[in-house]
């Protein structure tokens, strides 16, 4: 049996599946004060509900917001930083405009400082760009730094020395001296965290890991000590799993753990039903995460951000919008209404939770419009529509709007914000959303998916059998993965093919060793080579996969040609023949395939003409009046069942909206496939304003 848990900002979702495909699921309120307890409570709950009561799970899988929460709140212990002489203000300098035609960056305020300037120490040692030692490490100088850090109460020290990506010798000498003199200090080396070009990003990544390492090790240890399984894996931002042992040393890799898991799960499920081009709409309590999946593969980026900090390691390429079910509606100084990014969170939550919340949220609007039932979580959470209605009436009073009018306004604003997020990952990157299906996942994704698809002329919406459990399902189907990088820094004409091949083989050796330590068998191992490329002087690279085992001048030339084509596809032009192409980094992705848990099969009544549980009045996007709508229990809809809008389909962890002139059909494995009816083929018809 495998148990997967995703601890989100508002709810904790958990799924257990045994080798026979039998599963149990649960959704619990998250207690942000103790995420370890949330994880363990979720495991206990789902195991108690599973048919195989008393069976010890073979694996525990974890999607976590622990690292991200710490970065967002700056809730971590003080750390130290060791750099080369003359680079003490490296974090302050970051990337600023350069005179004389250089790239202008630094268009926004720098992120908050992670290491106080008084805790940044300098070393005289120096390497050249090719790794040649110019000034050796002075052991006495390092010993003095170790003593000073130990006496100051610092417990983690980041070490980021110039050109350590070319040769980590100086950083490793520093670490060895610290181990002898101050073994109680955690020393984190940039050559271990991000051995790639760009001093600022490499130093920042090292500091972020240093900030998180003590907290993460404590968090993971607390779970591991009490977890009812010997195999404990965490989801990483790249969409791969890592053991607790490996992740504990690189905690920043889990910062987008839950959202990445949901994308992985959507890609796998889409492939199972023959839909390989899709856009995920993952709406939770605090945010909306959107990602594009093309030909069954989700995109990765090395130009992402984590809590406002640039992050150069591979992560699932998704756009996060601060608008979710708990997002607060407010009037800005310009007198416009906005939804988010501030959220009511799990405590106190929306006004309708009756837990002391006093600011109107998107969930309150859904409830007043009849789009949500009077209770969530299978009846465990009763919603107070009276409280929500009074608050919305007060919120809309200045604009002469009643409660329903205010709720419609909030719904429209949030939906159009989400529409912009979908365009960010599609239109702005050279993809027409009309050619993609929209996957509505998360607790609130199905509430918005069909109406959002209509705005974007997307003809197919897929709502999985358990949309609120997309992240746990992604954990179930994810593989073990790690990315290895080595700086190259050569223009195409100056590339040494032999050096490139040696670099790849070295990275592949590291990859195989890592997977063996993770418990992978040799037959499950895959190694994928790639090169980061850019036009000379540009800030961001494009990663180009390689297919050939041997590296030849022809292979390099073909890769550069692929770079030109991809740049032109996404940007509308290329600089072929004008600008030199730089081969910045070599990359190897090491993957070990895991056995996939059986896909949970939908069970239900055999009637293909389902009867609604009730009829109630429901508000829909761009409809002035509430419409009489049939309400169905999703568990009562068998494969082949068809539901015509306007309708609402409810289940324990999510609610699906079927707008007027749309139809939802249950496929063979329980997905809801929502498409416009014949009269609605050309987009959103019957819009009433």
**Averages of pLDDT over each 10 residues, the chain, 689 residues:** 88 88 85 87 89 81 86 84 94 62 48 84 94 94 94 94 94 96 94 90 93 89 83 94 90 91 94 94 90 93 81 88 90 91 84 92 96 80 92 95 96 95 91 96 95 95 93 94 92 90 95 91 87 88 86 90 89 86 94 77 59 95 94 93 96 93 93 84 40
**Farthest-apart Cα atoms in the chain, separation:** 82
Q: For residue 598, what pLDDT is reported?
A: 60
The SS3 call for residue 623 is coil
Q: Which residue has the tokens 């550069």?
A: 560
The CA distances from residue 651 to 27, 266, 443, 467, in Å, are 12, 19, 10, 10
Q: What are the DSSP calls for 217-274, one per residue? A: HHHHHHHHHH-S-S-EEEE-TTS-EEEHHHHHT-GGGGTTHHHHHHHHHHHHHHHHTT
Name the E strands within 352-398.
375-376, 381-382
Helix, strand, coil tally for the chain in percent (to 5)? 35, 25, 40
Q: For residue 688, what pLDDT is reported?
A: 31
- What is the distance in angstroms between the CA of the first residue and the CA of the last residue of the chain? 52
The SS3 call for residue 178 is helix
Q: Label each residue of 459-494 as H, E or C.
A: CCEEECCCHHHHHHHHHHHCCEEEEEEEEEEEEHHH
The SS3 call for residue 277 is coil
Q: What is the set of domains in the chain, with CATH numbers?
A: 51-60+71-275 (no CATH), 327-413 (no CATH), 479-592 (3.30.1490), 614-680 (no CATH)
**Among candidate residues 225, 228, 260, the one with its CA nearest the CA of residue 242:** 260
Q: For residue 228, what pLDDT is reported?
A: 79
Q: Residues 6 or more apart from 75 whose CB is under 8 A from it?
A: 69, 215
User: Is the separation of the CB atoms in 125 and 135 below 8 Å?
Assistant: yes
Dist CA 176 CA 188 (whole Å): 12
DSSP summary character for residue 33? T
Dist CA 31 CA 312 (whole Å): 31
Q: Residues 6 or more apart from 641 whose CB is under 8 A from it?
A: 604, 607, 608, 609, 610, 665, 666
User: Is the separation of the CB atoms in 592 and 515 below 8 Å?
Assistant: yes
DSSP summary character for residue 75? -
Q: Which residue has the tokens 């918005």?
A: 448
Helices 497-517 and 553-571 cross at an angle (nearest 10°) of: 80
Dist CA 285 CA 445 (whole Å): 10
By CB atoms closer than 10 A (0-12, 13-18, 19+), residue 280 is buried
**Among candidate residues 382, 389, 398, the one with its CA nearest the CA of residue 349:** 382
Q: Residues 6 or more apart from 203 whose CB is under 8 A from it?
A: 81, 83, 90, 91, 158, 160, 190
Structure token digits, residue 271: 């492939």
Dist CA 531 CA 508 (whole Å): 14
User: Is the separation of the CB atoms in 316 and 306 below 8 Å?
Assistant: no
Q: Phi and psi at residue 387, in whole multiples of 5°?
A: -65, -45
Helix (H) or strand (E) holding 567: helix 553-571
User: Is the separation of the CB atoms in 249 and 308 below 8 Å?
Assistant: no
Q: For residue 94, what pLDDT is reported?
A: 76
Dist CA 113 CA 204 (whole Å): 10
Helix (H) or strand (E) holding 134: strand 133-135
User: Is the separation of the CB atoms in 482 and 27 below 8 Å?
Assistant: no
User: What radius of gyration, in Å, describes the C-alpha atoms of the chain?
Assistant: 26
Dist CA 314 CA 541 (whole Å): 12
Dist CA 282 CA 9 (whole Å): 13
361: left (phi over 0), alpha (psi -120 to 50) or beta: beta
Dist CA 525 CA 570 (whole Å): 32
By CB atoms closer than 10 A (0-12, 13-18, 19+), residue 30 is buried
Question: Does a cis peptide bond (omega within 30 degrees of 0) precede residue 348?
Answer: yes
The SS3 call for residue 49 is helix
Structure token digits, residue 447: 């509430």
User: Is the separation of the CB atoms in 345 and 362 below 8 Å?
Assistant: no
Helix (H) or strand (E) holding 535: strand 525-535
The SS3 call for residue 684 is coil
């Amino acid at each position: 049996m495998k148990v997967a848990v995703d601890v989100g900002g508002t709810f904790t979702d958990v799924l257990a599946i045994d080798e026979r495909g039998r599963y149990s699921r649960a959704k619990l309120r998250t207690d942000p004060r103790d995420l370890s307890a949330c994880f363990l409570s979720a495991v206990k709950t789902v195991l108690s509900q599973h048919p195989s009561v008393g069976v010890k799970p073979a694996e525990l899988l974890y999607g976590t917001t622990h690292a991200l929460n710490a970065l967002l709140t700056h809730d971590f212990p003080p750390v130290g930083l060791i750099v080369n002489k003359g680079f003490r203000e490296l974090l302050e300098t970051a990337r600023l405009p350069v005179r004389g035609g250089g790239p202008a960056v630094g268009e926004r305020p720098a992120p908050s400082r992670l290491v106080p300037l008084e805790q940044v120490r300098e070393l005289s040692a120096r390497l050249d760009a090719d790794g040649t030692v110019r000034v050796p490490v002075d052991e006495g100088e390092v010993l003095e730094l170790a003593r000073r850090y130990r006496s100051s109460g610092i417990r983690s020290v980041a070490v980021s020395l110039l050109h350590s990506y070319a040769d980590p010798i100086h950083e490793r000498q520093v670490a060895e001296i610290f181990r002898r003199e101050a073994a109680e200090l955690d020393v984190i080396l940039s050559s271990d965290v991000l051995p790639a070009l760009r001093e600022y990003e490499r130093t920042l990544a090292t500091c972020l890991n240093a900030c998180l390492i003590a907290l993460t090790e404590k968090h993971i240890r607390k779970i591991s000590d009490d977890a009812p399984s010997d195999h404990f894996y965490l989801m990483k931002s790249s969409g791969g799993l890592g053991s607790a042992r490996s992740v504990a040393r690189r905690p920043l890799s889990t910062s987008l753990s839950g959202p990445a898991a949901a994308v992985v799960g959507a890609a796998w499920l889409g492939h199972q039903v023959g839909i390989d081009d899709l856009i995920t709409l993952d709406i939770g309590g605090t945010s909306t995460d959107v990602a594009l999946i093309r030909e069954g593969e989700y995109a990765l980026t090395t130009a992402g951000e984590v809590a406002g900090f640039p992050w150069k390691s591979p992560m699932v390429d998704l756009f996060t919008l601060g608008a979710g079910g708990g997002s607060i509606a407010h009037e800005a100084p310009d007198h416009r209404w906005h939804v988010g990014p501030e959220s009511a969170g799990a405590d106190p939550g929306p006004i309708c939770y009756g837990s002391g919340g006093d600011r109107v949220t998107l969930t309150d609007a859904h409830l007043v419009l009849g789009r949500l039932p009077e209770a969530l979580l299978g009846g465990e959470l009763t919603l107070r529509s009276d409280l929500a209605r009074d608050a919305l009436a007060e919120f809309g009073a200045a604009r002469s709007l009643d409660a329903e009018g205010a709720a419609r306004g909030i719904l429209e604003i949030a939906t159009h914000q989400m529409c912009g997020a979908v365009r960010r990952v599609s239109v702005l990157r050279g993809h027409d959303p009309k050619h993609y299906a929209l996957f509505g996942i998360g607790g609130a994704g199905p509430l918005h998916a069909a109406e959002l698809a209509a705005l974007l002329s997307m003809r197919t919406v897929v709502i999985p059998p358990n949309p609120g459990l997309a992240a746990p399902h992604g954990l179930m189907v994810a593989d073990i993965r790690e990315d290895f990088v080595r700086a190259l820094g050569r223009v195409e004409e100056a590339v040494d093919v032999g050096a490139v091949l040696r670099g790849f083989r070295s990275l592949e050796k590291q990859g195989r060793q890592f997977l063996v330590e993770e418990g992978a068998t040799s037959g499950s191992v895959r190694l994928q080579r790639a090169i980061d490329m850019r036009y000379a002087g540009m800030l961001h690279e494009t990663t180009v996969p390689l297919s050939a085992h041997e590296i030849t001048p022809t292979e390099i030339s073909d890769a550069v040609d692929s770079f030109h084509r991809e740049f032109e596809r996404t940007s509308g032009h290329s600089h072929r023949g004008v600008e030199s192409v730089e081969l910045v980094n070599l990359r190897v992705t090491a993957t070990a395939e895991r056995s996939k848990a059986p896909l949970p099969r939908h069970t239900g009544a055999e009637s293909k003409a389902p009867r609604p549980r009730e009829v109630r009045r429901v508000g829909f996007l761009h409809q002035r009046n509430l419409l009489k709508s049939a309400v169905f229990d999703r568990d009562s809809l068998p494969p082949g069942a068809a539901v015509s809008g306007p309708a609402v389909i409810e289940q324990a962890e999510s609610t699906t909206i079927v707008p007027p002139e749309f139809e939802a059909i249950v496929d063979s494995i329980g997905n809801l496939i929502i498409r416009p009816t014949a009269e609605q083929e050309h987009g959103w018809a019957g819009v009433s304003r």
